[in-house]
Structure 1
Amino acid sequence: MWNFFRRKRPQDSEKTAVDPVCGMTVEKATALKSERDGQTYYFCSQTCLHTFESQPA
């Protein structure tokens, strides 16, 4: 049986990243950012950024 609703998450590239909260692909140049343990994370919205930053590492 085919599962048409199953999607692979897009991979990070030079210009885009995947929001770790909602899974949306965002443009790195315009996305909101947060650093944790030396890694930069990119977000589609203030809500996703706040959710990420309010969770322990």
Structure 2
Amino acid sequence: MFNDVMLARRSALSLSRNLMVITLVIAIGTQYAVITEEDRDANLQIVAEFDPFG
């Protein structure tokens, strides 16, 4: 979990490039988390999406 959205975005971008998977930054209350596209759920509030192929 991250308290700073910019730190979460940088981590998601780095993870996306290293693993070559789509990553998402999601908001959970006042914090942020990074998950992969395959863990996406319709109830999540997505803040940013990073696609290494795009």
| Higher RCO, 1 vs 2 (CA within 8 Å, ≥6 residues apart) | 2
Do they fold alike, i.e. is TM over 0.5?
Answer: no
Task: Please state which structure has a larger fraction of its residues in helix.
Answer: 2
Q: Which structure has the bigger radius of gyration?
A: 1
The bucket for the TM-score relative to the shorter chain is 0.3 to 0.5
Task: Please state which structure has a larger fraction of its residues in strand.
Answer: 2
